[in-house]
């Protein structure tokens, strides 16, 4: 089974998606079976130079240690292709998410009403309990179950963790990443915060896309449905039943938290099984895969059709010009465009400018405009969105060699790199967002704003910035540090 470290949705999704993408263009390299100590030291030295602290390096070692040997090749490839600073930011994000608070107990003093092993006898719809065990690491009761549905009878694995003490009265479902439905590892952080928590492999045991075809190469529709939404619902039903049996009380609230594939699972849960959860946090949902994955190739198509492969200097010049033109619209010149969707900069302004060894041409400007606009059909109709002006285009439009040629595989890798951490833009932590969802569900207070943070070299925020409900955006008050959220208001307040 594909393993995912808790709160590693992003990192994991990058690796799987990048690997899957690259496999389109060439055969995979065989996997090594471990990381030699000298190599590990080399990686750590690189990360230290990029500003990683001792705590962050320790977390990195944990990640490497927990990575199954079969996945190390893609992990290594990811490390080599990711700018070290981006990887350090991922480590910071993981550490930040582990700081989630323990919510107040809804049933103070609630305790198990039966031993963990007695859960073997609980009956669950369409399934069986396979095992129960007390986890040595945290003392929680761990249950594995299998759910099957006719006519295919695929085995959907369900993993549940129940705190032996300090249950906070809530159930939490967790989602997956890439093609994997979820993993046992994602139980660890929530159960340590007192949640009864569940995960599922959705029947996709190896975490690849192979499940989509049957042994005869035909679409395996039932397995696809189980991976898409049935498995998450099954996990939720089983998780709630076991929680009720173990504590003698149903959970008062249920939450689902997922990012990437987990974010897509979160949205589809809300649509198909609205009774399952009281609150759902859908982080960076990877929806419409059949459109966004091909859309990554659009810049390469534009360059190939024009036979004009833009060197890095031209892409960077266009990005820098867009940032320069639109940066101030949010009231502060800080290299961040507050609302890039409203940036209407036209790169035609660069035509004739000397960039590196060449001159920016009309064709270059047309390609940049087309990239920002996004894929369009032959008749000009909309297919998908492009990256907004100001996006680092090196990530989407990679070229190499002399004369320069397109590098689609790199582009695919970099797309995922871009979505995560390639920029210096502050992001809200999932910890804060989970709290916002709980405040909304349990106290009826919907979030008006979230405070985003950019983490510094020692794990504390170096820049905070409010995020408002769209279409509101943050505006600088004009006084005080531009690195402090308190000095920003929404554009609606400013008017
Ligand atoms: Ca700005």
Half-sphere exposure of 495 (CA within 13 A, CB side): 7
User: What residues are paired with 172 via a beta bridge?
Assistant: 197, 255
Same domain, 174 and 220: yes
Same domain, 269 and 217: yes
Find the 453 Cα to ligand 1 centroid distance in Å: 15
Find the 303 Cα to ligand 1 centroid distance in Å: 30
Evaluate whether 456 touches 52 at the Cβ level (below 8 Å).
no
- Domain end call among 372, 388, 420: 420
Instruction: Give the whole-angstrom CA distance, residue 415 versus residue 386.
Output: 11
Structure tokens belonging to residue 377:
């059909």
In-domain check, residue 109: no
Instruction: Give the whole-angstrom CA distance, residue 316 versus residue 322.
Output: 10
Find the 232 Cα to ligand 1 centroid distance in Å: 40
Same domain, 326 and 394: yes
Structure tokens belonging to residue 490:
């929404």
What are the pLDDT digits (tens) for 288-297? 877 777 788 8
Same domain, 140 and 278: yes
Same domain, 317 and 188: no
What are the pLDDT digits (tens) for 209-261? 788 888 888 889 999 999 999 999 999 999 999 999 999 999 999 999 999 89
DSSP 379: T
Instruction: Give the whole-angstrom CA distance, residue 43 versus residue 26.
Output: 26
Find the 335 Cα to ligand 1 centroid distance in Å: 6
User: Does residue 495 register a pLDDT over 70?
Assistant: no
**Lowest mean pLDDT across 103-112, 129-138, 206-215, 480-489:** 206-215
For strands 488-490 and 399-400, give the pairing.
unpaired
- Domain end call among 287, 308, 328: 287
Coil/strand/helix, residue 7: coil
User: What residues are paired with 279 via a beta bridge?
Assistant: 255
What pLDDT, on a 0 to 100 scale, did the predictor assign at position 413? 41
Sheet holding 141-147, edge to edge: 127-134, 141-147, 156-162, 196-200, 170-174, 253-259, 279-283
Find the 420 Cα to ligand 1 centroid distance in Å: 20
Same domain, 253 and 122: yes
User: Does residue 207 register a pLDDT over 90?
Assistant: no
Coil/strand/helix, residue 54: helix
Find the 465 Cα to ligand 1 centroid distance in Å: 11
Instruction: Give the whole-angstrom CA distance, residue 371 versus residue 298.
Output: 7
Structure tokens belonging to residue 106:
């809804």
Alpha-carbon Rg for the chain in angstroms:
24
In-domain check, residue 470: yes
Find the 14 Cα to ligand 1 centroid distance in Å: 28
Find the 342 Cα to ligand 1 centroid distance in Å: 12
Same domain, 46 and 72: yes
% pLDDT > 90, the chain: 45
Instruction: Give the whole-angstrom CA distance, residue 314 versus residue 303.
Output: 13
54-66 and 84-97 helices cross at what angle (nearest 10)? 90
Find the 482 Cα to ligand 1 centroid distance in Å: 10
User: Does residue 321 register a pLDDT over 70?
Assistant: yes
Closest CA to 196 of 171, 232, 175: 171
Same domain, 273 and 138: yes
406's enclosing H/E stretch is: strand 405-406
What pLDDT, on a 0 to 100 scale, did the predictor assign at position 229? 96
Q: What is the DSSP string of 14-40?
A: HHHHHHHHHHHHSPPPPPPSS--HHHH
In-domain check, residue 157: yes
Instruction: Give the whole-angstrom CA distance, residue 207 versus residue 4.
Output: 10
- Domain end call among 270, 287, 304: 287
Which residue in this structure is represented by tokens 């979160």?
A: 266
User: Does residue 455 register a pLDDT over 90?
Assistant: no
In-domain check, residue 139: yes
What mean pLDDT do residues 383-397 have?
Answer: 80
Find the 468 Cα to ligand 1 centroid distance in Å: 15
User: Does residue 108 register a pLDDT over 90?
Assistant: yes
Q: The domain that contains 192 carries what CATH number?
A: 3.40.50.1820
Same domain, 138 and 281: yes
Find the 37 Cα to ligand 1 centroid distance in Å: 44
- Quickly state the pLDDT bin for 31 (edges 50, 70, 90): very low
Same domain, 66 and 182: no
Instruction: Give the whole-angstrom CA distance, residue 218 versus residue 334.
Output: 53
**Lowest mean pLDDT across 69-78, 87-96, 134-143:** 69-78
What are the pLDDT digits (tens) for 150-190? 999 999 999 999 999 999 999 999 999 888 899 998 999 99
Same domain, 260 and 335: no
**pTM of the complete model beyond 0.85:** no
In-domain check, residue 102: no
Instruction: Give the whole-angstrom CA distance, residue 376 versus residue 378.
Output: 7
Find the 85 Cα to ligand 1 centroid distance in Å: 22
Residue ranges making up the domain that contains 58: 9-97
Instruction: Give the whole-angstrom CA distance, residue 386 versus residue 108.
Output: 50
In-domain check, residue 425: no
In-domain check, residue 218: yes
- Quickly state the pLDDT bin for 19 (edges 50, 70, 90): very low
For strands 141-147 and 358-359, give the pairing.
unpaired
Same domain, 146 and 214: yes
Residue 471 burial (CB < 10 Å; 0-12/13-18/19+)? Answer: exposed
Residue 298 burial (CB < 10 Å; 0-12/13-18/19+)? Answer: buried
Q: What's the number of domains the chain is made of?
A: 4
Find the 474 Cα to ligand 1 centroid distance in Å: 9
What are the pLDDT digits (tens) for 475-491? 888 899 988 889 999 88
Find the 117 Cα to ligand 1 centroid distance in Å: 57
Distance between the two ends of the chain, CA-based, in angstroms?
Answer: 54
Closest CA to 141 of 211, 87, 197: 197
Sign of the four-CA dihedral 341, 279, 134, 132: negative
Find the 410 Cα to ligand 1 centroid distance in Å: 29
In-domain check, residue 254: yes
Instruction: Give the whole-angstrom CA distance, residue 479 versus residue 474.
Output: 14
Maximum separation of any 2 CA atoms in the chain, in Å: 77
What mean pLDDT do residues 332-345 have?
Answer: 87
Find the 428 Cα to ligand 1 centroid distance in Å: 18
């Amino acid at each position: 089974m594909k393993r995912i470290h808790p709160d590693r949705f992003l990192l994991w999704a990058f690796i799987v998606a990048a690997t899957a993408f690259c496999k389109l263009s060439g055969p995979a390299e065989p996997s090594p079976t471990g990381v030699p100590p000298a190599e590990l030291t080399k990686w750590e030295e690189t990360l230290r130079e990029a500003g990683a602290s001792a705590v962050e390096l320790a977390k990195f070692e944990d990640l490497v240690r927990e990575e199954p040997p079969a996945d190390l090749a893609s992990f290594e490839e990811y490390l080599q292709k990711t700018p070290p600073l981006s990887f350090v930011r991922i480590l910071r994000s993981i550490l930040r998410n582990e700081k989630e608070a323990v919510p107040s107990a809804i049933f103070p003093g609630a305790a198990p009403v039966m031993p963990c092993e007695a859960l073997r006898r609980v009956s669950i719809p369409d399934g069986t309990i396979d095992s129960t065990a007390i986890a040595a690491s945290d003392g929680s009761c761990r249950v594995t179950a299998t759910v099957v549905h006719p006519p295919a009878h695929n085995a959907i694995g369900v993993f549940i963790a129940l705190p032996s003490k300090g249950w906070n009265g809530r159930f939490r479902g967790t989602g997956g990443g890439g093609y994997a439905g979820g993993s046992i590892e994602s139980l660890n952080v929530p159960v340590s915060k007192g949640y009864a928590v569940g995960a599922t492999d959705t029947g996709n045991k190896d975490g690849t896309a192979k499940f989509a075809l049957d042994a005869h190469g035909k679409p395996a529709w039932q397995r696809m449905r189980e991976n898409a939404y049935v498995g998450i619902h099954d996990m939720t039903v089983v998780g709630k039943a076991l929680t009720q049996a173990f504590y003698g009380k149903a959970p008062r609230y249920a939450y689902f938290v997922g990012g990437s594939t987990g974010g897509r699972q979160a949205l589809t849960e809300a649509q198909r099984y609205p009774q399952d959860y009281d609150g759902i946090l859908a982080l960076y949902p990877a929806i419409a895969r059949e459109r966004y994955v091909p859309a990554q190739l659009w810049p390469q198509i534009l360059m190939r059709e024009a036979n004009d492969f833009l060197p890095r200097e031209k892409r960077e010049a266009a990005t820098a010009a867009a940032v320069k033109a639109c940066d101030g619209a949010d009231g502060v010149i800080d290299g961040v465009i507050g609302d890039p969707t409203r940036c209407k900069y036209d790169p035609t302004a660069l035509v004739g400018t000397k960039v590196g060894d060449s001159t920016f041409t009309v064709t270059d400007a047309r390609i940049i405009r087309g990239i920002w606009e996004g894929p369009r059909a032959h008749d000009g109709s909309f297919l998908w969105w492009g990256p907004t002006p100001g996006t680092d285009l090196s990530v989407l439009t990679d070229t190499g060699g002399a004369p320069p040629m397109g590098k689609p595989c790199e582009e695919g890798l970099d797309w995922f790199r871009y979505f995560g951490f390639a920029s210096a833009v502050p992001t809200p932590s999932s910890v804060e967002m989970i709290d916002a969802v709980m405040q909304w569900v349990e106290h009826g207070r919907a979030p008006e704003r979230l405070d985003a943070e950019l983490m510094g070299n020692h794990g504390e925020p170096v820049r905070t910035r409010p995020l408002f409900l769209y279409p509101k955006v943050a505006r600088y008050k004009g006084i005080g540090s531009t690195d402090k959220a308190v000095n920003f208001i929404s554009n609606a307040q400013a008017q």
